[in-house]
Amino acid sequence: MIRYVESRLGLDSWGRRALRKVFPDHWSFLIGEIALFCFIILVATGTFLTLFYRPDAAVVTYEGPYEPLRGQEVSAAFDSVMRLSFEVRAGLVMRQIHHWAALVFVASTVVHMCRVFFTGAFRRPRELNWIVGFTMLMLALGLGFTGYSLPDDLLSGTGLRIGYSALISIPFAGPYIASLAFGGEFPTENVISRLFVLHVMLLPGLTIALLGAHLAILWRQKHTQYRGPGRSESNVVGKGLWPYQALLSLGVMALTAAVLALMGGLVQINPIWLYGPFDATTVSAPSQPDWYMGWLDGATRLFPPWEPTVFGVTIPSMFLPAVLLPGLFFTVVALWPFIERRLTNDAAEHHLLDSPRDEPGRTALGVAGLLFFTVLTLAGGNDLIALTLDIQVESMTRFFRLAMFVVPPVGGALAYRICRQLRDSREHPLGRGSGVVLRRTEQGGFEEVPRS
């Protein structure tokens, strides 16, 4: 079989080199692979779901086996997801694996980006691949949002409605953009079929294309590596693709799938039968979006009631937290390799990775950014927290308004100090603190001796 392909394509020398390609052996290099494997699992389970889903807003009467909703008027889309969940054999487990995989896909993409950020792997010559990866994160968010809106349930309908309000808030163009995107004034009939074509064709197609580019650039530029004996800017040290890396990656792929299968089987997610079908006059309370959207929801909750009108032009209170804030945040993230290059005047090629402590400024900024994201995400659940702790929701909002400005700079400053101390002491944060041990002397006292 190999001989057959080889004799027709003539890949012998290329294939041999490819099989020997060097992969630095470090666990943090597997996070991006997990994201890739999640995507593969999403395509596989998503294909199954597509065979049963109907992207149709037409009103039908639910007549399936789930008693509480029987006889209720629902959309054909909602009806098909109910059928998938209760009547199609293995349908619910596929749906739940798909949804869990989507959450882990975005999560592993973000963690992978954090790894690249904190180790400086985005520096020349890898700025291009940072941009490609960043674009894939945007596509992943788009895939997530369009995907969880498809069942046409009450919760996702609320998400769409807020998305419409964010679009319409854009100065001057907003009403036009919102009307074009939704096909009129919310709620409209067209939106489900539009989301469907985005979710199953356009966005995954773009993602696959960029995934190819991402891996091709990685292959061409070779891996970065951490500092260590025998490792320099001009070489790359690690295990060959075959057999070690290939077997390990296959194992990690199966492990990712196994964990997602376990979650899909045992941990309920997005139970649309509990939310009920979309209805323009009701909203589920409390209502939280998927985790990666929570920070924007939190930002809109915290934003003060401020809606200035200047010369007849109103800046809606949704615009700053829901459009401008993510716009600015993501612009800074996308352009970070170029911003840092401007700040440090460092245009040299880098193939050896930083330890986060080597660059206290960058690390502090990253920590502050993550804390900002965390505070806003928690604020997106302020009503749940208030309910759990039995505190007034208004107090929670005031607390988070303060925390949003206090926590990130304090955390960043703390990270800066810790990095400086670690760097100066040359100690490993996870290693034992001191280079000496105490030993009992024969006289009953203690003495310090160097650790062997």
Partner 1 sequence: MKAERVVRGCFALSLAASVGLSLVYLAGGSRAWEGVLLAAALGGIAVGFILWATRLIDAPDNVEERREQKPGEGLGLISEVLEQSVTGVSRRKVLAGLASGAAASLGAALAIPSLSLGPQPGRSLFRTLWVPGIPAVDSEGGRVRPEDVPLSGIITVFPQGSEGAGDSQAVLLRVAPDLLSLPEARASWAPQGCLAYSKICTHAGCPVGLYRAQARELLCPCHQSTFDVLTGAAPVFGPAVRPLPQLPLAVDEDGYLVAQGDFSGPVGPSFWNVTQ
Q: Residue 207 and residue 191: Cα distance in Å, rounded?
A: 22
Residue 390 Ramachandran class (φ > 0 left, ψ -120 to 50 alpha, else beta): left
Closest to 234 measured CA to CA, from 123, 351, 116, 125? 351
**Residue 167 C-beta: closest distance to partner 1, Å:** 10
> Does position 327 bind partner 1 by CB under 8 A?
no
> Does position 237 bind partner 1 by CB under 8 A?
yes
Give a three-class secondary structure readout of 97-110.
HHHHHHHHHHHHHH
Q: Residue 171 and residue 184: Cα distance in Å, rounded?
A: 18
Beta-strand pair 309-310/313-314:
antiparallel
Transcribe 78-101 into DSSP letters: HHHHHHHHHTSTTHHHHHHHHHHH
Among 131-139, 141-149, 302-310, 363-371, which window interacts with partner 1 (CB under 8 A)? 302-310
What is the rounded end-to-end Cα distance, in angstroms, of the chain? Answer: 55
Site string for partner 1, 63-102 (x = CB under 8 A): --------------------------xx-xx--xx-----
Among 106-114, 131-139, 237-245, 359-367, which window interacts with partner 1 (CB under 8 A)? 237-245
**Which of 36, 82, 236, 323 is close enough to bind partner 1 by CB under 8 A?**
236
Burial class of 364 by CB neighbour count within 10 A (0 to 12, 13 to 18, 19+): buried
The answer to whether the CB of 156 falls within 8 A of the CB of 147 is: no
Q: Residue 106 and residue 35: Cα distance in Å, rounded?
A: 7
Task: Name the residue nearer to partner 1 (CB basis): 5 or 254.
Answer: 254
Tokens of 416: 């800066």
Task: Name the residue nearer to partner 1 (CB basis): 230 or 444.
Answer: 230
> Does position 34 bind partner 1 by CB under 8 A?
no
**Residue 416 C-beta: closest distance to partner 1, Å:** 33
**Residue 288 C-beta: closest distance to partner 1, Å:** 10
- Provide the 10 A C-beta neighbour count for residue 449: 9
> Does position 47 bind partner 1 by CB under 8 A?
no
By CB under 8 A, how many residues form the interface with partner 1?
Answer: 99
Residues 395-414 that bind partner 1 (CB under 8 A): 397
**Which of 5, 9, 58, 180 is close enough to bind partner 1 by CB under 8 A?**
180
Residues 9-28 that bind partner 1 (CB under 8 A): 20-22, 25
**Residue 35 C-beta: closest distance to partner 1, Å:** 17
Residues 356-395 that bind partner 1 (CB under 8 A): 382-383, 393-394
> Does position 105 bind partner 1 by CB under 8 A?
no
